[in-house]
Amino acid sequence: MLEEARERRAHLVFLDESGFQLTPVVRRTYAPRGRTPLVEAWHRKGRISAISAVTVSPKRRRPNLYFRLLPDDANARGEDSVAFLKGLKSRLGGPMTILWDRSRIHGRSGLVKAYLAKHPEIVAEDFPGYAPEANPDEGVWGWTKYHRLPNYAPEDTAELRLRLCRELSDLRRRPELLASFIRHAEIPLRL
């Protein structure tokens, strides 16, 4: 599939979704001996679903990140995948090879199938079900949740949305980190 994308001079697009809740992801932290650290949080409802894609341009071989945050408490659905693909298509221009998991909001969604049928310049491939770690976009979510937002307890979804936009925008400006996600996923690309 990578060779076919290279021959077509297509952008590689590694796409995935994730969710962020108001309840923090609790991680180990440090405190003075004998003082157990406390994370001030309580169980609150509220979440933000997100879609992102790590892309690699066919000419410059430079990774980039595109993302979209969905409305509060919304689950990602087929129409969200189509809207995201439309946005990518307009930004990237030219052919794309999309690599994603076997989620039902991807290749099995009727809306997504119809969109892909109208756009033969977009080729979609599924990652094997047994290898989700093969998707470099998983690195985006792992980095964001476990390195940038651990123990973070926002007051509301507006605060969470603002912080997510800032963190993902900052990550977008770090192509060397995005390239490390591709290397970690063992995708054989020269970047």
pLDDT tens for residues 32-65?
A: 888 887 766 566 789 999 999 999 999 888 999 9
- Tokens 């990550």, located at residue: 171
Give residue 108's pLDDT band: very low, low, confident or very high (50, 70, 90): confident
The pLDDT, as a whole number, for residue 47 is 95
Q: For the whole model, what pTM was predicted?
A: 0.89
State what percent of residues in the chain have pLDDT above 90. 71
The pLDDT, as a whole number, for residue 78 is 95
Does residue 21 carry a pLDDT above 80? yes
